[in-house]
Amino acid sequence: MRGVHHIETHKSQRNGWLRAAVLGANDGILSTASLILGVAASGADQRSLLAAGLASLVAGAMSMAAGEFVSVSTQADTESADLDRERKELKADPVHEQAEMAAIYVERGLDADLAARVAQALMTHDALGAHARDELGIFGPYTARPVQAALSSAGSFALGALLPLLLTVLSPATARMWMVPGGSILSLALLGLLSAHAGGAPRLPAATRIVGWGALAMALTAAAGALFGAA
């Protein structure tokens, strides 16, 4: 049909930024809450707890940004190298490359004649784009975006880390050891539910996973802090 454009969006197109954002927020809540609990269990005062929490926020956000940027940049470099190689192969032997595309479509279920016609039509329209999409799996929203991933991770880590810091400020000393982990676990559960909803995945398993690992990490860190304080 003429004039019809594919405007449909899919939840899998969110995978890049959603993964980075969820990972950042989860780490922000979990690492900062665990650090605060560990330091609190050693007998430190509120000023020391806030200093530790702020240090965790800044260091964690920068670490997440750097890690995501380096990782996704490596992926982008690999994609670029693959595209350069494909471009050279198309220039050197377009007949072989067209046959290669036809073979891909045959493997996907087309008969040989139709596959050959499809390969010819797509390569006439955009040979490199057809090979990038169907041979290399590089296409549009799925390409690597290092800056987007870095900013998403750093921002979400900082937002996640703010929660245990606020709980530390607002909770009295006598209630801190249950208010900080309690509020953090509730936040982790909400994060799991929201991320599952955004990605179209089952919500309860996502929330259960994130809460289970979060509770374990906080418990172990608090125990380590208590041992240090006792020593």
Q: What is the 3-state secondary structure (H, E, C) of the chain?
A: CCCCCCCCCCHHHHHHHHHHHHHHHHHHHHHHHHHHHHHHHCCCCHHHHHHHHHHHHHHHHHHHHHHHHHHHHHHHHHHHHHHHHHHHHHHHCHHHHHHHHHHHHHHCCCCHHHHHHHHHHHHHHHHHHHHHHHHHCCCHHHCCCHHHHHHHHHHHHHHHHHHHHHHHHHCCCCCHHHHHHHHHHHHHHHHHHHHHHHHCCCHHHHHHHHHHHHHHHHHHHHHHHHHHHHC
The confidence score (pLDDT) of residue 143 equals 60
Q: How many domains does the structure of the chain reveal?
A: 1
The confidence score (pLDDT) of residue 14 equals 47
- Domain span at residue 226? 14-81+145-230
Residue 57 lies in a domain: yes
Residue 160 lies in a domain: yes
The confidence score (pLDDT) of residue 74 equals 87
Residue 207 lies in a domain: yes
Residue 156 lies in a domain: yes
The confidence score (pLDDT) of residue 161 equals 93
Residue 111 lies in a domain: no
pLDDT, tens digit only, all 231 positions of the chain: 444 444 444 444 445 556 667 778 888 999 999 999 989 888 888 889 999 999 999 999 999 889 888 988 888 888 888 888 888 988 888 888 888 889 989 988 888 889 889 888 988 888 888 888 887 777 665 566 788 888 888 899 999 999 999 999 998 888 888 899 999 999 989 888 877 777 677 888 888 888 898 899 888 988 888 887 643
Answer whether 0.85 is exceeded by the pTM.
Answer: no
Residue 221 lies in a domain: yes
Residue 120 lies in a domain: no
Residue 170 lies in a domain: yes
